Amino acid sequence: MHVLNVRQVGSNYEYKWPSNQLEMYAAWIEYDTRAEDGKHILRIGFGRRPVYGIDRARIVVWIDGHPHAEFLGADDFDATGDVLSEIRIRGDVGEPMCRYPNDTVPERYTTFDVVGLPTRVSGKGVHSAWAVVTNVSNHKVMIDFAVLRQQERTR
């Protein structure tokens, strides 16, 4: 997906998840993009919420109004700005995690920095999953990851 331009930026974006849970994103940026199948609107929302026992940065990437990637702040987010998103593999039922360290990371993820989620995130209930890691400022990586997730869901 190719970013054409910044469409708009804003604050206090509220998204209603299918579970009817409302979630607030203090800041967001929206891009006009183009892919092989045409033009799309892509939004990245920046918020916070409790995850694994502490309040963490939360970033969601929407393509045409549908969420395709969710990132959470690493334990050292305040110092590094690093965020992570679990790698999930489309299966017959749901999207199971790509288990760290036992599963092999699929080849299509080789362009991303991949780490074991528990090596960067601690707390009660942290999943043993492989995760893509990037900096909160690296919108290109977040967009590329969201596009890959979108493509996996439509296969």
pLDDT digit string, tens, across residues 65-109: 999 999 999 999 999 999 999 998 865 555 678 999 999 999 999
Residues 6+ apart with CB under 8 A from 91: none
Q: What proportion of the chain, given as a percentage, has pLDDT over 90? A: 89
Comparing CA positions, the residue from 151, 125, 132 lying closest to residue 50 is 125
Nearest to 141 by CA among 90, 85, 88, 95: 85
Hey, is 133 helix, strand or coil? strand
Which pLDDT tens digit goes with each residue over 120-139?
999 999 999 999 999 999 99
Q: Is residue 154 pLDDT above 80, yes or no?
A: no
